[in-house]
Amino acid sequence: MRPLLSRTSIFRELLVVLIITFPPLFYALYAFEDELLTKMVASFIPQIEFLGYAAFLNLLALSSTVLNRWFYTPNDNIKGMMQKVDDVLFVAGETSLGLIRVLTGTLISILVLWLIYEPATFKLEEQYFFIIAAISGVIDCVALAYILERQNQQRKPRRFFTSS
């Protein structure tokens, strides 16, 4: 198992977030200029309420895994039901990771495109919020990917809706 904040995991998440968002944003700016870029950025960034819900789903998934793995369940029916709930919440956690990756990639892509196309107007001292948000987003992606990877390694392959 790789460590949580290794260079490899940080580099991997940076590549993932940039592969997801940079090419479409670059094409939008290159081919259509500001109009399409503005629309795409607005569509990539979810509402704050949805981000809160995604964070809640991640906490729920983590709680379900902890309960399912570390606490004794005397009844097999309850244990089977808890495993199915855990599986569904695990998928929800993966989806939330994708959402955070898109948001983080959008922030990084905006900064990179700004540096490429208008370096004269880019002032580092005015961009601290974006830089800190992008760095924390990458750290969030690394941590959540690590947690999901650990959960996936402990998970037994199960089939939904079967009588086993």
pLDDT digits (tens, 9 = 90+) for 13-53: 899 999 999 999 998 888 887 888 888 888 888 777 787 88
Q: Does any domain span residue 161?
A: no
Label residue 159 exposed, middle or buried (CB < 10 Å: 0-12, 13-18, 19+): exposed
Overall number of domains in the chain: 1
- Give mean pLDDT, residues 58-79: 77
Q: Does any domain span residue 72?
A: yes
List CB contacts of 154: < 8 A, sequence separation 6 or more. Answer: 69
Name which of 77-81, 132-136, 153-157 the model is least confident about: 153-157
Q: Does any domain span residue 104?
A: yes
Confidence of residue 62 (pLDDT cuts 50, 70, 90): confident
Q: Does any domain span residue 89?
A: yes
- Give mean pLDDT, residues 57-68: 77
How far are the Cα atoms of 43, 82, 113 from residue 63, in angstroms, in the given order?
31, 11, 39
Q: Does any domain span residue 147?
A: yes
Structure confidence at residue 105 (pLDDT): 93
The percent of residues in the chain predicted with pLDDT above 70, rounded, is 90
Angle between the 76-117 and 7-32 helix axes, to the nearest 10 degrees? 50
Please count the CA atoms within 13 angstroms of the CA of 155 that sit on its side-chain side: 21
**Domain extent for 79:** 7-154
CA distance 127 to 136: 14
Confidence of residue 109 (pLDDT cuts 50, 70, 90): very high
Q: Does any domain span residue 163?
A: no
